[in-house]
Amino acid sequence: MRHISLILCLLGCAYIGHSQKHDHHWVLGQETYEPMPIFGGTDLIFGEDSVTSEMVTRDIWFEFTNASICDRGGNLMFATNGIRIIGNDQQLIENGDSINAGDVHDDFVDYGYPCAQSAIILPSSTRDSLFFLFHMRATTSGMGICDRMQKTLVDMRLNGGKGRVVYKNEIIKEHNFAYGKITATKHGNGRDWWVVQPEKSTNGYFKVLFARDSVLEIQEQKIGPVITLSDSRGQSVFSPDGSKYARYDHDNDLNIFGFDRCSGELSDPVHVAITDASDTTFAYGGLAFSPNSRFLYVSAWDRVYQFDTEATDIAASKVVVASYDGFELPYPTTFYLMQLGPNGKIYLSSPNQVNMLHVINSPDEPGLACDFQQHGLITPTYIVFGLPHFPNYRLGALAGSPCDSLISEAHENVETQLQIKVFPNPASDALTIMLPNDFTEGDDIVLFNQFGQALLVSKSTAGNAQFELSLKNIPNGVYFLKVMNLKGQTLSSKVTINH
């Protein structure tokens, strides 16, 4: 389990991200009824020192599931409500329908996928035009179960720059997962990603190592208190520096963990009871860390708390920074999900259909100095439930750790080995292999089992960047694919076969 993580740590901190503005355009909202019914929504556009809200006409609703991505300059490329993917022209991108295909998709096709925090978009580490949507498929709406973690690939070079879904709903793992709560943080090398998804009704967590556009490893860890069945109305989040992971819901309170960005291990669980919020079956809640990763904010229906995660006694550090003021716009503006904005402010949604967001203006400040402003941002259309879900795209390499070392020879070897792209993975009857330019006619393509035995040997053909390998006679299992060219270079990838 650890050998891949150790190899990745050797890659070091050579990669330093540019000023990435992947989260500078938020796609929100439903229809507005004033002055007349219009299918549309609200877009929040973040500048260097400002945020503007605009009403946008579109025929897609964003309620619970919400993820979007901008290019490095902050220009919106596409967004999804968990059922469709639309481009910056508000139209369905090519092959962008039937995301999360299944019964829940069919029941909510007109409204958006009913599972909060169930999608997140990660940019490719090898090509600026590729973006990977990680998303959870639900079996039932409401307080149900997610039975699949899936992956969808969008290539923005295609279709005249409007983008096209290359493949969709590729299964990463089938399991009884928690209802939503998928989140991600950068690996310690500052380039790759850890994607974390809780298990349903246990204390289990699945950590997916996503490197060089491939799922290299899936770890399972059991730690902390067992989470009960009613865990659907909360949120999970990483701190901006990636050192902490937290989750909250009304029935299971607040749970905080340390996180090792090199190994993916959770550690040092801290359970904090939230006992003074209103006791109601509609107790939606959310989480956000301050930009300096010290203060953790918890929304619990009608109250918002601040905790100091650096305090000796985190529970004792609790400060109530907001109590619902009774304001309605047009319905009660209580508190739900949170998202840290690129301007360093935290924004909160409401579980009711309202045209506003709450704002924490100075979240790095302790106590009431954080400046919580209820209904601080008025929006042109109604917003309900969801906010777009972003990781910290600007997080760099972890300084002063084993991941912050660079061994030239090891770096060169690992870089070469991790460049191969294969899909779908898991595969059934065939596997598509994407080869870089240095790999041409006559390259050996070999599939090995876990005992090092070569089960398939083939040759690439001239001028083909893409090669298909038949797997019809290969039993289910985990295998290793290697491609060797005439220069002695080797590409490799782990492949799962599941007919």
Asked whether residue 320 is domain-assigned, the answer is yes
Query: In a 10 Å sphere around its CB, with 0-12 CB exposed, 13-18 middle and 19+ buried, how is residue 134 labelled?
Result: buried
Per-position b or e across 400-418, b if 16+ CB within 10 A of its CB? eeebbeeeeeebeebeebb
pLDDT in the model for residue 5:
39
Q: Are residues 188 and 133 in the same domain?
A: yes
Asked whether residue 32 is domain-assigned, the answer is yes
Q: Are residues 270 and 159 in the same domain?
A: yes
CA distance 434 to 404: 30
Looking at the 3D structure of the chain, how many domains does it have?
A: 2
Would you say 221 and 197 are in contact if contact means Cβ atoms under 8 Å apart? no
Secondary element (H or E) of residue 2: helix 2-9
Q: Are residues 375 and 432 in the same domain?
A: no
pLDDT in the model for residue 417:
43
Asked whether residue 398 is domain-assigned, the answer is no
Residues in contact with 161: Cβ distance below 8 Å, sequence separation at least 6, in sequence order? none
Domain holding 457: CATH number?
2.60.40.1930
Q: Are residues 379 and 428 in the same domain?
A: no
pLDDT in the model for residue 281:
52
pLDDT in the model for residue 209:
93
Domain boundary among 334, 360, 383: 383
pLDDT in the model for residue 487:
52
Asked whether residue 170 is domain-assigned, the answer is yes
Q: Are residues 198 and 254 in the same domain?
A: yes
Domain holding 309: CATH number?
2.130.10.10
Question: Which whole-number Å values give the CA distances from 298 to 246, 250, 255, 288, 338, in the listed order?
Answer: 10, 10, 11, 7, 9
pLDDT in the model for residue 16:
32
**CA 40 to chain CA centroid, nearest Å:** 25
Asked whether residue 368 is domain-assigned, the answer is yes
Asked whether residue 414 is domain-assigned, the answer is no
Q: Are residues 423 and 374 in the same domain?
A: no
Asked whether residue 297 is domain-assigned, the answer is yes
pLDDT in the model for residue 4:
38
Q: Are residues 446 and 370 in the same domain?
A: no
User: Cα angle at 456 between 450 and 459, to 5 degrees?
Assistant: 130
CA distance 50 to 38: 27
Asked whether residue 397 is domain-assigned, the answer is no
Q: Are residues 441 and 349 in the same domain?
A: no
What is the pLDDT tens value at each position of the chain, 499 positions in all? 434 333 333 333 332 334 689 999 999 987 665 555 556 799 999 998 889 999 998 888 998 999 999 999 999 999 999 999 999 999 999 999 999 999 999 999 988 999 999 999 999 987 889 999 999 999 876 667 899 999 999 999 999 999 999 999 999 999 999 999 999 999 999 989 999 999 999 999 999 999 878 888 899 999 999 998 666 689 999 999 999 999 999 889 999 999 999 999 999 999 999 877 555 555 789 999 999 999 999 999 899 999 999 999 999 999 999 999 999 988 999 999 999 999 999 999 999 989 999 999 999 999 999 999 999 999 998 988 889 999 999 999 987 777 764 333 333 343 344 457 788 888 888 888 887 665 655 567 888 776 666 788 777 665 556 778 889 888 888 888 887 665 556 677 888 888 8
Which residues form the domain of 486? 419-497
Domain boundary among 336, 368, 383: 383
CA distance 208 to 143: 24
Question: Which whole-number Å values give the CA distances from 259 to 141, 390, 426, 471, in the listed order?
Answer: 31, 18, 28, 38
Q: Are residues 314 and 432 in the same domain?
A: no
Q: Are residues 320 and 429 in the same domain?
A: no
Domain boundary among 383, 404, 438: 383
Q: Are residues 443 and 368 in the same domain?
A: no
Secondary element (H or E) of residue 431: strand 430-434
Q: Are residues 167 and 285 in the same domain?
A: yes
